[in-house]
Chain A
Amino acid sequence: MSNEATLHSQDLLHHGHVEHGHGNGHDGHDHHHEETFISKYVFSMDHKMIAKQFLITGIIWAIIGAFFSVLFRLQLGYPDATFPWLESILGHWAEGGRITAEAYYALVTMHGTILVFFVLTAGLSGTFSNLLIPLQVGARDMASPFMNMLSYWFFFLASVIMMSSLFVQTGPASGGWTSYPPLSALGDASIGSKIGMDLWLISMAIFVVSSLLGSLNYISTILNMRTKGMSMTKMPLTIWAFFFTAVLGVLSFPVLLSGFILLLFDRHGGTSFYLSELFVQGKVLPNEGGSAILYQHLFWFLGHPEVYIIILPAMGMVSEILAVNSRKPIFGYLAMVGSLFAITVLAFLVWAHHMFVTGLNPFLGAFFVLLTLLIAVPSAIKVFNWLTTIWRGNIRFTPASLFSIGFVSTFISGGLTGIWLGNSAIDIHLHDTYFVIAHFHIVMGVSAFFGMFAGIYHWFPKMYGRFMNQTLGFIHFWITLVGAYLIFWPMHYEGMAGMPRRYFDYSTWASFNQFGGLNQFISFVVIIVFATQLLFVFNFFYSIFKGRKLTSPNPWEATTLEWTTPIHPGHGNWPGEIPEVHRWAYDYSKDGKDFIPQTVPVSPEESGH
């Protein structure tokens, strides 16, 4: 592949030039290296285009997934009200303008599935790993552009199947995003466990394929295709984060896939991997000897690393963006890499903390408590290092840096409640309550989204050669930050009062119906925050076409390699030779110089670091 890239580098010299005029209507057509619409925008093998495909697909999914949460928050906040327009869009799933319990559970399930996998895995890691790995390590493209293209199209196929499951007569999967059997295995136990569950499993299996194709590519590109001088310790932290994310994915997604395949066998092959001694809908089932808990082990063996798959890329981007905008090197680079590594290793050893109350051997549980709380140490190191990075900096507030600061704030808040839940003696009370919802939404939902927003605002100029509107970005940030806290902070208290999650209606419960007013408040804020996200989406698409144009290739005055490419880099990224790297990525404010790009050789009189 690299041979081909070198062969093309001559073309690209011109190509980059032609690309410049792209906005004015002439693209590469007059060039002998023909690019059709299909090869450029659809079946593209350019990592930058694939990144945009992941991003835009992710944004569409995010709107759908977030909209679902608005729908079920309407039920939670206004259980007695009717909304006739709901019936117009959902039909018999919202008879009389009030969503049914079946629809509620389907919405909750799809919200989780969409946000966790389709947005925060594919949309986040898929976008930025693709965009930044070749650009920041100095490669013309991924190790295998073809596999990279397949990765997107498998994701697309998974998306189509998941989307189609929304329209089948019995509805989509509705057993929660974790899809625990036997509920998910038996069509008789739940309407959502009929054809919708099969589509869910098939879609997820294809999603795993997509994820593996992507991850293997990321790993091989980072290990093999770094430019001259780019030793591993000179890589920006973004690349380290993407690297560990990919490693996590490669090692854990296959386990999830095996879990899903066994579930498919149980559903259709008459096997009893997860089924034992069941009496459903007045019928005794023949299955004996299976273990419903086995599925939970297989699921959470991915499920827990999955939360790090979601958060590590955000951590990497935030580290980079905070350094750039503080005009300071990231504090403790090696400690940052080391803590990423520690998190990656520990991520595989903590899965059973999701299963403390399944009847797990208490002695085993004690080990998982220890290992789970251990993960707070590298997380704490990261937080303190971010704080020290901005300390005595010269901070520029861009939407990207604001969202990075917001990320640190929510990561602290959500991370600290992880210390509660990781301790099994507290989990035994808080498990499956709103406390858990508050915890993981803040630490992995909101934080990861903040990382993603930061990344989008920061690298939008690299993607489209234009800026997003800053003022809209500021408004977007402040409303989202305040709103996120207003939504999730009070949920901790609901959880401490024992309020279980995944309840359609609390009105019949003497213990939990006291939070009606609070739920209404939360739902109200949800609607406002959702509307604000639409503002962001508008800003994004508007700016692609009408945003302020870049005038220099390095708008943030950053040191990393992606800013050494032309404003509109062609396929191959650098028109000439790939630049050589001489220093780490964080020489900001060193020796009185605001920043020194990685491509500048180290001069003899420079101080060390």
Chain B
Amino acid sequence: MSGFLAVLVVVLIFVVIFQIAKASEYVSILKGEKKSREQSNRINGFLMVVFLVLGLIGVWWCHDLLEDRMLGESASVQGEGVDQLIKVTFIMTLVVFIITQILLFWFSFRYQEKEGRSAFYFPHNNKLEVIWTVIPAIALTILVAFGIRHWLRITSEAPKDAMIVEVTGAQFKWMVRYPGKDGQLGRKNYKLINEAASNPVGQDWADSLNHDDFVSPELHVVVGKNVKLVIGSRDVVHDVGLPHFRLKMDAVPGIPTTLWFTPKFTTAEMKKRTGNPDFVYELSCDQMCGVGHYSMKANIIVETQEEYDAWVAAQPTQYAQAHPAAAPAEKPAASDSTATALTMK
């Protein structure tokens, strides 16, 4: 019933607007084209200024309202460069935005059609055109230079001392593999993936480097310590989104990607900084990956080295989970993955 009423109201509003519009058309025919054009010029010219003023106030108001809901200071060292570049770009584009919008709507108001005035025949002016080709070109060169410098720094090779963590996306979860004590990730092969046999990322048990690796749904990293993510996917393209760290990298099946960064604040510190006792870093999937895309989340815990070590010590290795009965006995020399692949076929 209320739905019906709502529709009725909308239809009525439509009819009223239409009647007014129709009537104004008749009136304008009676008044003559010139008169009615003068009137509509006046109204629309006035609205141009109103829109300009209210619009600029609205832009400021929107900023004021939402500024506090931004992410705060970057939680990674690398993100500082991103933020700095955003700041510079923000100021430059804002200045251009305000100037051009004011000119546009002010001109529209100021030069509305008036009886007895005629337009100024001004087809071109090379000097002006050169000016507004060169100035944007210079401004953009500055932004490009800044941008590329930050970009090459962010995407540079990870430092040698970086701890390595592997992040694998799957519909619709994240699996994070840690290298264990040896600091090295074991070989893997997608054909060995077997969820039932506790092998979600396809570790090759023939490779002894795998024996101390463990897999967690959470990403644990150490504050102040470089971490290099080796990113992959099991099925479709996903994306490791790290909003608080200002970073992002796709997870592509078959083509590993990497991303490294240095976390600045532990989760505990962030709880204090944000004044939110429930604060949690989240890793979001930022590439459309199917029906559960919106739920593909992993928590990120940034902690001190001691906390991290304690956490690592408590994690059961994936090898132990996959081989509950067998003791971690000596394996025959690792057969390479191509051999495994052949036997699989």
A positions within 8 Å CB-CB of B: 85, 101-102, 105, 174-176, 178, 180-183, 186, 189-191, 275-280, 282, 284, 288-293, 326-335, 357-359, 362-363, 365-366, 369-370, 373-374, 376-377, 380-381, 383-385, 387-388, 390-397, 402, 405, 408-409, 412-413, 416-417, 419-420, 423-426, 428-429, 431-433, 469-472, 474-475, 478, 481-482, 485, 489-490, 493, 496-498, 500, 502-506, 508-512, 514-515, 518, 531, 534-535, 538-539, 548, 586, 588-592, 594, 609
Measured between C-beta atoms, what is the minimum distance from B59 to chain A in Å?
7
**Does B315 lie at the interface of the complex (its beta carbon under 8 Å from any beta carbon of A)?**
no
Closest CB in chain B relative to A546 CB, distance in Å: 9
Chain B 1-40 against A: per-residue CB contact (8 Å), 1 yes, 0 no? 0010000001000100110111011001100000001001
Closest residue on chain B to residue A493 by CB atoms? B66
Q: By DSSP majority rule, is chain B's interface helix, strand, loop, or mixed? A: helix
Known contacts A380-B136, A424-B147; A392/B122 CB under 8 A: yes
What sequence of 0s and 1s flags, for each residue 240-278 of chain B, a beta carbon within 8 Å of any chain A beta carbon?
010110111110111111100000000000000000001
**Residue pair B248, A387 in contact (C-beta under 8 Å):** no
Residues of A within 8 A of B29 (CB): 548
Assembled-state Cα–Cα distance A417/B94 (Å): 10
* Chain A residues, Cβ within 8 Å of B243: 429, 433, 497-498, 511
Residue of B nearest to A482 (CB): B51
Interface-facing stretch out of B149-157, B208-216, B317-325: B149-157
Q: Does B190 sit within 8 A of A, measured CB to CB? A: yes
Give the distance to chain B from A226, nearest Cβ to Cβ, in Å. Answer: 21
- CB-CB under 8 A from B114, the residues of chain A are 394
Contact, CB under 8 Å: B241 / A500:
yes
**Closest Cβ neighbor of B132 among chain A residues:** A384
Q: How far is the CB of A489 from chain B (nearest CB, A)?
A: 6
Closest to B128 in A: A388
**B158-174: which have CB < 8 Å to A?**
170-171
B80 to A: closest C-beta gap in Å: 11
The 9 closest A-B pairs by CB, nearest first: A498-B243, A276-B254, A359-B257, A362-B155, A423-B147, A397-B44, A503-B294, A425-B150, A471-B21
What separation, in Å, do the CA atoms of A470 and B44 have in the docked complex? 12
Q: For the complex formed, measure the closest distance between the CB of A453 and the CB atoms of chain B, giving whole angstroms.
A: 15
Interface residues in B30-76 (C-beta closer than 8 Å to A): 37, 40-41, 43-45, 47-48, 51, 55, 58-59, 62-63, 66, 69-71
A377, B140: Cβ atoms closer than 8 Å = yes
Contact partners of B244 in chain A: CB under 8 A = 498, 511
A186 to B41, CA, bound (A): 57
A395 touching B113, Cβ below 8 Å: yes
Q: Contact residues of B with A, CB < 8 Å? A: 3, 10, 14, 17-18, 20-22, 24-25, 28-29, 37, 40-41, 43-45, 47-48, 51, 55, 58-59, 62-63, 66, 69-71, 79, 81-82, 85-86, 89-90, 92-93, 96-97, 100-101, 103-105, 107-108, 111-114, 117-125, 128-129, 132-133, 136-137, 140, 143-144, 146-148, 150-152, 154-156, 170-171, 190-191, 193, 195, 202, 234-237, 239, 241, 243-244, 246-250, 252-258, 278-280, 282, 284-295, 297
- Cβ of B140: which chain A residues have Cβ within 8 Å of it? 373-374, 376-377, 419
Contact residues in A for B37 (Cβ distance below 8 Å): 396
Complex: chain B residue closest to A358, CB-CB: B250
Which of the residues A181, A412, A493 comes within 8 Å of B62, measured between beta carbons?
Answer: A493
A335 to chain B: which residues have CB within 8 Å?
124, 129
Closest to B188 in A: A277
* Shortest beta-carbon distance from A596 to chain B in Å: 11
**Which B-chain residue is minimally distant from A276 (CB atoms)?**
B254
Assembly CA distance A590 to B120 (angstroms)? 8
A532 → B minimal CB distance (Å):
10
Do B122 and A284 have beta carbons less than 8 Å apart?
no
**Complex-state Cα separation, A288 to B93, whole angstroms:** 46
B122 contact from A282, A328, A474, A539, Cβ within 8 A: A328
Residues of B within 8 A of A472 (CB): 17-18, 21
Closest chain A CB from B155 CB (angstroms): 4
Q: Complex: how many Å from CA A144 to CA B286? A: 46
* Contact B294 A381, beta carbon cutoff 8 Å: no
Q: Is the CB of A85 within 8 A of B3?
A: yes
Q: Which of A191, A395, A426, A586 contacts B86 (CB 8 A)?
A: A426
Beyond A329-B122, A357-B239, 4 additional pairs, beta carbon < 8 A: A405-B48, A417-B93, A502-B288, A511-B284
Give Cα distance in the complex from A334 to B130, angstroms: 13
Task: Return the contact of B286 from the options A186, A433, A535 (Cβ within 8 A).
Answer: A433
Contacts A425-B147, A425-B151, A431-B248; is A277 near B253 (CB within 8 Å)?
yes
Q: A279 near B18 (CB under 8 angstroms)?
A: no
Question: Distance (Å) between the CB of A595 and the closest chain B CB?
Answer: 10
Q: Which residue of A lies closest to B241 (CB)?
A: A500
Check B284 against A509 for contact (C-beta < 8 Å).
Answer: yes
CA distance A521 to B132 in the complex (A): 38
Question: Provided the pairs A365-B151, A409-B101, A412-B101 are in contact, do residues A535 and B279 lie with their beta carbons within 8 angstroms?
Answer: no
List, in ascending order, chain B residues with CB within 8 A of A279's CB: 170, 190, 193, 202, 234-235
Per the bound structure, the CA–CA distance linking A97 and B250 in Å amounts to: 35
State the CA gap A400–B102 with chains docked (Å).
Answer: 21
Q: Which residues of A contact B170 (CB under 8 A)?
A: 279
A173 to B81: give the CA distance in the assembly, Å: 39
Question: Contact: B237 with A180, CB < 8 Å?
Answer: yes
**Which B residues lie within 8 Å of A508 (CB)?**
295, 297
Structural contact, A365 and B155, CB atoms closer than 8 A = yes
Partner of A426, one of B40, B147, B239, B292: B147
Check A470–B25 contact: CB distance below 8 A. Answer: yes
Q: Which residue of chain A has the shortest Cβ distance to B67 in the bound complex?
A: A493
Q: Please, how many angstroms separate the alpha-carbon atoms of A275 and B82 in the complex?
A: 33
Q: Which partner residue on chain A sits nearest B74 by CB separation? A: A429
Name the distance in Å between B319's Cβ and chain A's nearest Cβ: 20
Q: Which of A276, A333, A383, A548 touches B25 (beta carbons < 8 Å)?
A: A548
Pick from A374, A409, A518 the residue with the most CB of B within 10 Å: A409
Residues of B within 8 A of A500 (CB): 241, 284-286
A472 to B101, CA, bound (A): 25
Contact B136 A276 (CB under 8 A): no
Q: How far is the CA of A259 from the CA of B290 in the complex (A)?
A: 21
Residues of A within 8 A of B144 (CB): 369-370, 373, 423
Q: List 7 A-B contacts (CB under 8 A).
A: A326-B119, A369-B144, A381-B129, A397-B112, A485-B55, A498-B244, A538-B18
Contact of A509 among B51, B93, B117, B297 (CB under 8 A): B297
Q: Which of B22, B47, B81, B129 contacts A425 (CB 8 A)?
A: B81
Q: With A190-B290, A357-B250 in contact, is A284–B190 under 8 Å at CB?
A: yes
Chain A: CB-nearest residue to B27: A471
State whether A416 touches B96 (Cβ < 8 A).
yes
What is the bound-complex CA distance between A408 and B102, given in angstroms?
Answer: 12
Residue pair A328, B119 in contact (C-beta under 8 Å) = yes
| Contacting pair A405 B294 (CB below 8 A) | no
Q: Which residue of B lies closest to A489 (CB)?
A: B62
Closest to A191 in B: B291
Inter-chain contact A589/B121, CB cutoff 8 Å? yes
In the bound complex, do residue A424 and residue B151 qualify as a contact, i.e. CB atoms below 8 Å apart?
yes
